[in-house]
Amino acid sequence: MGEEEDEPSPKLAKIDVELHPFHRLKNPVVLNEVKEKKLVFLHGKVGEDNKDAVVILEKRPFDTSPKGLKSLFSEETKLRQDLLNDIYSTYAAVPTSPHTEIKTTVIYPATTKHIEKYTKQEVEVIEETGDDYKQITLPYLKEENRFSVQWVFNILDKKSESERIVFEDPDPEIGFILLPDMKWDLKDIESLYLMALVHRHDLKSLRDLNKDHLPLLKNIKQRGEDAIQEKYGVKKHKLRIYFHYQPSYYHLHIHFTNIAFDAPGSSVTRAHLLTDVIENIEFMSDYYQKKTMTFVGKRDDKLVTALRKTP
C-alpha cells in the first residue's frame, strides 16, 4: 500500500488582533503549570474596564504524517547545538509550523469561579454520602450557580458548534449530541476525545440516574461507539467511556476517549465507567442516590470545606 494522502489543513479564521482578548491580555500571571503535559494556565486583565480572562496554553502533539516529518527534518528547522560527545549530540531545535503551534483556549470574561478552578491548590480526598449530597452539595450548587451551562444549551439548540457535531439522536428522552471535546486537536487519533451531551435538561450528574435512565445510557453507549468507529475508525474495545464525579459542569454528559490517551480526569478518583454505571443501576435502581462518592477536591473550595466538616 502506498502512503496515504495528507488531509488538507483547516483554514484559519482571520482574527481581529485589536479586538481579541488574547492579544489584549495585560499582566498575565501563572495560575498553574503542568510541566509533564506541557500545559500552563494564565490569568490576566483585558480592556479599559479590566475584565478577567483565563488563557490555557498547551503544546500540540508532533505532526507525524509523512508531510509533517519531512518539514521537521528540512533545512527550515533551526538547530543550536548544546552538547557533542562522541556519537551523542543534543540540540535546541526550532521547527516551523505546525510543530510550533500552541493550542490556546480563552475564557473571557472569566468569573472568579473560573480563576479558582485553574489556580493551583492542594487537593484532598472527599467522601460524599447520599445524605451529604442532598443536604450540602445540592443546595450549594443551586446557591452558587456553579459554572453556567449556557454554552451546553447553545450546542443542543444548534446556536454554536453545529458544524462539529459527529452524531445526534434527537429523541427528547434518550437522545444526545456527540461532538469533539475542546481538548482534542481533531488530528491525533490516539488522543481522541469526544463528549455526549444529553438532550434532557433535568439530569445534572450521576447522582440523578436510576433505572428509568437505562435506555438513555445504553443508547449513548451503543450509538456513540458506532458513530466513533464509522467516523474515526476507532473500535469500541479501544474506547474509555465514563462520567466524571464531580463533573466540571452540571448537565449530564459522558466522555469518550481513546484508551491510549491518558486523559485528564480519567483516574479512579474521578472517572466512573459507563458499563459499571449501567450494571450498578441494574443491580440497584437508587444506587447513585445512596452510594458514598469519593472524589478529589481543592482544599479551599467552599464545597470541599463544607463536606469536610461533616461527621
113 part of a folded domain: no
115 part of a folded domain: no
| Rounded CA Rg of the chain | 22
Kindly state whether residues 129 and 70 are assigned to the same domain: no
Q: Compute the distance between CA of residue 92 and CA of residue 97 in angstroms, rounded to an integer.
A: 16
Kindly state whether residues 166 and 218 are assigned to the same domain: yes
Kindly state whether residues 91 and 128 are assigned to the same domain: no
Q: Where are the alpha helices (DSSP H) in the chain?
A: 66-72, 112-118, 130-132, 138-144, 150-156, 214-232, 274-283, 287-290, 302-308
**Residue 44, domain CATH:** 3.30.200.40
Please give the tally of structural domains in the chain. Answer: 2
pLDDT at 14: 54
Kindly state whether residues 198 and 271 are assigned to the same domain: yes
Kindly state whether residues 59 and 170 are assigned to the same domain: no
Residues in contact with 109: Cβ distance below 8 Å, sequence separation at least 6, in sequence order: 46, 51, 52, 53
Q: Compute the distance between CA of residue 246 and CA of residue 126 in angstroms, rounded to an integer.
A: 11
| Domain end call among 103, 131, 162 | 103
Kindly state whether residues 152 and 243 are assigned to the same domain: yes
Kindly state whether residues 139 and 254 are assigned to the same domain: yes
Contact 175, 157 (CB under 8 A): no
14 part of a folded domain: no
Domain around 32: 21-103
pLDDT at 309: 67
125 part of a folded domain: yes
pLDDT at 214: 98
Residues of the chain with confidence (pLDDT) below 50: 1-12
pLDDT at 276: 98
Contact 181, 195 (CB under 8 A): yes
Kindly state whether residues 248 and 174 are assigned to the same domain: yes
User: Taking the model in full, what pTM does it have?
Assistant: 0.69
260 part of a folded domain: yes
Kindly state whether residues 278 and 139 are assigned to the same domain: yes
Catalytic position from the list 43, 114, 213, 253: 253
Reference 205, options 255, 151, 150, 243; nearest CA is 243
**Residue 164, domain CATH:** 3.30.428.10
Reference 198, options 173, 181, 218; nearest CA is 173
Q: Compute the distance between CA of residue 205 and CA of residue 244 in angstroms, rounded to an integer.
A: 8
Dihedral pair phi/psi, residue 139, rounded to 5° = -60, -35
Q: Is 253 tagged catalytic?
A: yes
111 part of a folded domain: no
57 part of a folded domain: yes
Reference 143, options 290, 248, 250; nearest CA is 250
How far CA 111 is from CA of 43, 52, 54, 249, 265, in Å, comes to 11, 7, 9, 14, 22
| Domain end call among 52, 75, 103 | 103
| Domain end call among 40, 70, 103 | 103
Kindly state whether residues 159 and 297 are assigned to the same domain: yes
Kindly state whether residues 157 and 69 are assigned to the same domain: no
Kindly state whether residues 191 and 69 are assigned to the same domain: no
116 part of a folded domain: no
pLDDT at 15: 56
